[in-house]
Structures are given as C-alpha cells and as structure tokens.
Amino acid sequence: MGKYIFITGGVVSSLGKGVVSASLGFLLRASGVGVTFLKFDPYLNRDAGTMNPYQHGEVFVTEDGAETDLDLGHYERFADVVLGKPNNVTTGQIYGTVLDRERRGDYGGATVQVIPHVVDAIKEAIVAAGTPGADLTLVELGGTIGDIEGMPFIEAIRQFILENGKDEAVLLHLALLPGLPAGGKELKTKPAQHSVQKLRECGLQMDFLLCRSEVPMPDEARRKLALHTNVKPERVIEVPDVRLIYNVPEHLHRQGLDRLLCERLKLPRRPPDLTPWRNFAAAVASPKRIRIAIVGKYAGMADCYKSVGEALLHAAAARGRGLEFSWLDAEELELGDARARLDGHDGLVVPGGFGVRGAEGKMRAIRWAREGKIPFLGLCYGLQCAVVEFARAACAAPAAASAEWDEGDRFSPDDCWITLLDNQGRATPRGGTLRLGSQPCRLAPGSRALAAYGTGLISERHRHRYEVNPEKVPALERNGLIVSGRHPDNGLVEIVELPGDQWFVATQAHPEFKSRPLRPHPLFLSFLAAAAAGPPG
C-alpha cells in the first residue's frame, strides 16, 4: 500500500502547503523514493471547473481531463509526475459518492452519517490515490485546522494513522509565525502553539512542525516551539519567505527534512543530486531578462495564469535568462492607447479564458504583435482571438466574431468564425461537451510548430468548448493563415501560425500544463528564443 505523509496547515490559509508538499515530493523523488500526491479540498464543489479564478486561482487540467486545484500543477512541475482524477478530491465528490451508495442501497438501510460513512469514503480516497511504483503518497489537506468543513478529513486522517500504524504515516503541520512591526519583527510563537493545540484536540500528534515566517527563525523560538508542541527541536523546520518558490526545496534540504522523513518512515534513500535544480533556480534569478506581456481578463491575480507564468520561467531559464512580466488587463487595453502599454515588450502571450469580457482588448494586443512582428503565443482562447483578429484584418470580414460573444443574437451565423461544435467536429446550436484532457494533434510538414516540437504527432491538454469554424478555414488559409496542427480524427483546428520569419503561433491547447523546470515545453522554448532574439529584420 505504500507509506503516507499528511500535510495540514494552521493559523491562516494560503501559507504555502502546496509548494511545501511539491518541494518534499521533489526532494524525495531525487532521493530515489517513488512519490504521488493527493489534494483534499474541503469545499462542496464537485471540482474547480466552475469556480471564479479570482477566488481559487487557475484550473489545472490533468491528462485524463480532471479540472483540479492549482496545487496539482505544483506537484506535477516539482516532482515531474503525471496526476489525474484520483489525486484531487473535494467534499462534493465525497458526499456525491456516499449519497450514490445510499440510493443504491449499499448501506443496507443504515442511517447514513459522517462517521462512519463519510469518513470511510475519505479513507478509501487516500488509498485510491496511490499509483504503481509510488512508495509514498503525500496528502495535503486544504484550509486550516479548525475549519468546520475540514473536520471529516481530519477525523479520517486520525483513523487512517491509527489503523495503519505510526510507522506507515507521518503528520506535518505548517503554521504561521507572525512578526509584529511594533515588536521589531520579533516572531510570535503563540499562534502556532494554539494551532497545534487544536490539532491535538482532534486526536492528532504531529511529527514535524513547519514554521512559515517573513524572516529566519531564531534558535530560541525553535526550542520554545519544540517544548510546547511535543516535537524534537530538529523536527521544527523553518520556512521563511524566499524570492522564488524554486528555492524552497534547497531550503528544506539544508535542514535535513527529506533525510529525517525517510528515517522516520524507514524508507531507503540515496543522497539527492540537486545541482541541476540549483542551476535552474539561479538562471530564473538572472538579472538579464526578457520582457513578456501577458494580456488576460484576470490580470489582477497572477495565480489565475499560474502555469503560464511558470512555463515561461522554465523556458527562459533554459536560455540562462530571467523574465520580467507585465500582467495587462484586457479590458483596460480596450479603453486607452494599447500600443503605449505594449511597446517595449519582447513578446506577447494571450492565455485562455471564457466569455466576451476583454476580447476586444486581447485582439488589439494581437494586432500590435502581428503588425509589429513581435513574437506572439496564443493559448486556447488566445487562438480564437487570433483567428477573429486575422479574419477582420485579412479576410474582408470586419464583423468576424465568436459565437461565444453573441449576447442576444448580435451576430449572423456567417459572422461566427469561432463556433460550437460537437465531438465529431460538426456545427451544432448547443455544442458538444467541454473538451477536456489530453488530445492528439498532427503537425503540418515545414511548419514552425513542427520545428518546435520535433515530431509530427503530439498530444496536449485541452479545456474549451468553442472551436474554429471549419467552414471558415479555407478563407483563413487563402488569405495567409497557416493551419499547422489538426486533430487527426475529426480535423479540428489545433494550431495556427503566420508564414515567414515572424514567430506567431497559437494553439487551441494548454501546453503550459506539461512544462517542467528541468524539461521546459518545446513551444515555450521556441517562443522565448524568438523573444530573446527580437523582431525579425
């Protein structure tokens, strides 16, 4: 069955449990331990697919089409693993499972209760997250200790550790050590102590205490916390603020956390070689930077496009360069001088999204890149905006639009260069299901996309409903837009690009989800190479 590390948090939310979990996964995998992950999200939503990105950050899509918490992106990137539907479980999914069983009569007429039925379903999910070849499952519980919605999960963890034995599971607790300005930033340990006390009230004794703070933790604070929380001083681990999240694994390794965990769980390990990771982190921090504009409708919160930003960092670091981001609100570009906001950038990215809001601003940005021969990368919705912008500019179709923007029959069917299609690529007034997860794509010979990927048949993750209208493809190609990638089965447009020496590529997929720090995605590598070189001519 493998062994388990449970990670909980206290005092405040958003302490960085996801990055800590991902960092541990990286360190343990580098030590020869096979790892996988499970994120418990205690909200009642079935998944993250319908949640506001400003509240929840980006929706990370797995190979099998699960719409998940963004922490799964951290797990996949840091530990270089592939996760799926069993690796992100919500309260909504747990209650859905329990209620389905009750309706089928699986409980034999028993009164269905949180204990044992809900808790048992949570324990089943813990076991189900394990994968072949994984010696260890890291289980992160979202939220903070004491949250009412998290209590069934805490009880399930307590029972799971009791039933499987302490040699099979470790509990890590991450708590905040605040520093009050009036006290000269002296770190206060009392909130962490109370958080651990709450954990004990739930029947759990942690094995390691991780302390998040703005500054390094003094030895006196470490000794006090060890005494009052009943752990050894060497198991009180500091997690101070760092400039880059990619510095966290090195920081935890210096304190011996990966070694201590393996000793505690009796897992064989080898000393990890962190040199490639250190070189990558150093390159990300390089003062020699490439300036990239990212134009989106959620530009006020970078976590809404977390994987896009990370994929760009990975590719830039591979060239020994850092990045300077400009997160530009698409709606603001509709109102002012878009060119003034965009000039001076080395490249443009228009990421995914839904709805009409900000679409005109995105197209103004795309026109700036197309006319100025600035390297451009369109992702999902970015491809759709690029197609409409090209249709308006080059295909004598000034009213070109997407059916997604039609709020009250403003467009005739002939205006819709982006439309709803079913799964066979046929036009339909209602559309098919959301296209989710891994989809194949065949690349055209001689295309820039083929040069970037280096292989003619690729697979990328998708999350969208609207497609390029097949009836409009001949006009697009006639006027100079190259369809360089198509779905091999239904012919749907997957990638478009402009001919010549300008780097202008847009994909219907989300390649950012497959980028890794030490294995940057080839499309982002090609884009950053063009951005670093500057406009052609």
CATH class of residue range 3-273: alpha beta
Answer whether 394's CB lies under 8 Å from 366's CB.
no
E-assigned strand segments in 373-524: 376-379, 401-402, 416-420, 435-443, 457-464, 466-468, 482-486, 493-497, 504-507
Structure tokens at 2: 């493998």
Structure tokens at 373: 């021969």
Instruction: Work out the average pLDDT over 100-115.
Output: 96
Instruction: Work out the average pLDDT over 454-463.
Output: 97
Q: Which of 380, 385, 416, 441 is catalytic?
A: 380
Instruction: Work out the average pLDDT over 67-85.
Output: 97
Q: State pLDDT tens for residues 195-225.
A: 999 999 999 999 999 999 988 899 999 999 9
**Residue 355 — very low, low, confident or very high, per pLDDT cuts 50/70/90?**
confident
The count of other CB atoms within 10 Å of the CB of residue 220 is: 10
pLDDT greater at residue 132 or residue 176: 176
User: What are the Cα distances from residue 310, in Å, to 70, 260, 506, 536?
Assistant: 12, 30, 18, 26
Question: What is the model's pLDDT at position 406?
Answer: 76
The domains of the chain are located at: 3-273, 283-533
Domains 3-273 and 283-533 are alike in CATH topology: yes
Question: What is the model's pLDDT at position 14?
Answer: 85
Instruction: Work out the average pLDDT over 136-159.
Output: 96
**Residue 23 — very low, low, confident or very high, per pLDDT cuts 50/70/90?**
very high
Backbone angles phi, psi at 140, to 5 degrees: -105, 130
380 included as an active-site residue: yes
Pairing of strands 88-90, 416-420: unpaired
149 included as an active-site residue: no
Closest residue by Cα to residue 339 from 372, 383, 376, 290: 372
Percentage, residues of the chain above pLDDT 70 = 96
389 included as an active-site residue: no
Q: Which of 74, 314, 510, 521 is catalytic?
A: 510
Largest CA distance in the chain: 76
Q: Which of 225-229, 297-301, 445-449 has the lowest mean pLDDT?
A: 297-301
Asked if residue 488 has pLDDT above 60, the reply is yes
Question: What is the model's pLDDT at position 475?
Answer: 97
- CATH 3.40.50.880 is the classification of domain 283-533: yes
Q: Which of 238, 310, 497, 512 is catalytic?
A: 512
Dist CA 440 CA 487 (whole Å): 6
Instruction: Work out the average pLDDT over 137-163.
Output: 96
Question: What is the model's pLDDT at position 287?
Answer: 86
Answer whether 363's CB lies under 8 Å from 388's CB.
yes
Question: What is the model's pLDDT at position 537?
Answer: 60
Q: State pLDDT tens for residues 174-195.
A: 999 998 776 567 889 999 999 9
Question: What is the model's pLDDT at position 414?
Answer: 85
Q: State pLDDT tens for residues 278-324.
A: 999 999 988 889 999 999 988 777 788 999 999 999 999 999 999 99
Answer whether 135's CB lies under 8 Å from 2's CB.
yes
Assess whether the previous peptide bond of 440 is cis (omega < 30° from 0). Answer: no
Instruction: Work out the average pLDDT over 499-527.
Output: 97
Answer whether 141's CB lies under 8 Å from 150's CB.
yes
Q: Which residues contact 302 (CB under 8 A, 6 or more apart)?
A: 309, 325, 327
Question: What is the model's pLDDT at position 57?
Answer: 86
Asked if residue 433 has pLDDT above 90, the reply is no
Instruction: Give me the chain's average pLDDT, please.
Output: 93
Question: What is the model's pLDDT at position 215?
Answer: 86
Instruction: Work out the average pLDDT over 254-261.
Output: 96
Question: What is the model's pLDDT at position 431?
Answer: 47
Q: Which residues contact 308 (CB under 8 A, 6 or more apart)?
A: 294, 349, 351, 379, 512
